[in-house]
């Protein structure tokens, strides 16, 4: 692959991460870049891998998802080389975030996942974050996979009620 083209993909990822104040997942970055047809999956993954290796982005693994944030070195690199991103691409990225920012943030701030701990025992881990700050983390042990799946599915819609209930109940003085 042409090095200039790979550099453009890296700059696009840095630009995207610099536009938000919360981490983006691999799939969120891919959604924009691949849907617009800028490159293929493998070239994008190479760009992301190179950015992580050179510590221009930080990677955090949460619930089998990779979350990326730009580092100070990444911001400096973008300041220095950002002019190499065509204005049309910047405009498309800006438009993407204007239309999807709330959804993308919500997608990252409310998570639920489960894993089998042992036979007939599943651990369900649910979290609510505000930007990078953890607000609540709940881990439940359930007896079958269907229960774990149901809890994960319901967490996204009902997390606010659960959070309010916990705060209210734990604030009651006896």
CB atoms within 10 A of CB 172: 6
Residue-wise pLDDT for 135-166, tens only, equals: 899 999 999 999 998 998 899 889 989 989 99
Distance CA 1, CA 108 (A): 32
Residue 152's contacts (CB-CB under 8 Å, 6 or more residues apart) are: 112, 113, 114, 124, 126
Please answer whether residues 101 and 120 qualify as being in contact, where contact means their C-beta atoms are separated by less than 8 angstroms: no
pLDDT, one tens digit per residue, over 91-123 is 999 999 888 887 887 777 888 888 888 888 999
Q: What is the pLDDT of residue 108?
A: 75
Identify any residues that bridge with 121 across adjacent strands, giving them in sequence order. Answer: 118
Residues 6+ apart with CB under 8 A from 71: 55, 56, 57, 58
pTM of the model: 0.73
Residue 102 half-sphere exposure, CB side, CA atoms within 13 Å?
1
DSSP 47-76: HHHHHHHTTSEEEEEETTEEEEEE-HHHHH
Q: What angle do CA 115, 116, 117 make, to 5 degrees?
A: 110
């Amino acid at each position: 692959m042409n090095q200039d083209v790979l550099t453009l993909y890296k700059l696009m990822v840095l630009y995207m991460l610099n536009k938000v104040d919360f981490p983006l997942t691999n799939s969120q970055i891919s959604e924009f870049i691949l849907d617009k047809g800028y490159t293929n999956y493998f070239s994008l993954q190479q760009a992301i891998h190179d950015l992580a290796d050179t510590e221009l982005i930080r990677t955090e693994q949460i619930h089998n998802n990779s979350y990326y944030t730009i580092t100070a070195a990444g911001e400096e690199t973008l300041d220095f080389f950002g002019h190499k991103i065509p204005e049309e691409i910047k405009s498309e990225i800006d438009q993407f975030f204007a239309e999807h920012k709330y959804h993308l943030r919500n997608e990252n701030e409310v998570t639920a996942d489960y894993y089998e701990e042992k036979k007939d025992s599943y651990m369900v881990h649910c979290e609510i974050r505000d930007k990078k700050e953890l607000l609540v983390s709940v881990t439940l042990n359930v007896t079958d996979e269907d229960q774990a799946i149901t809890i994960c599915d319901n967490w996204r819609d009902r997390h606010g009620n659960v959070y309010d209930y916990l705060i209210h109940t734990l604030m009651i003085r006896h």
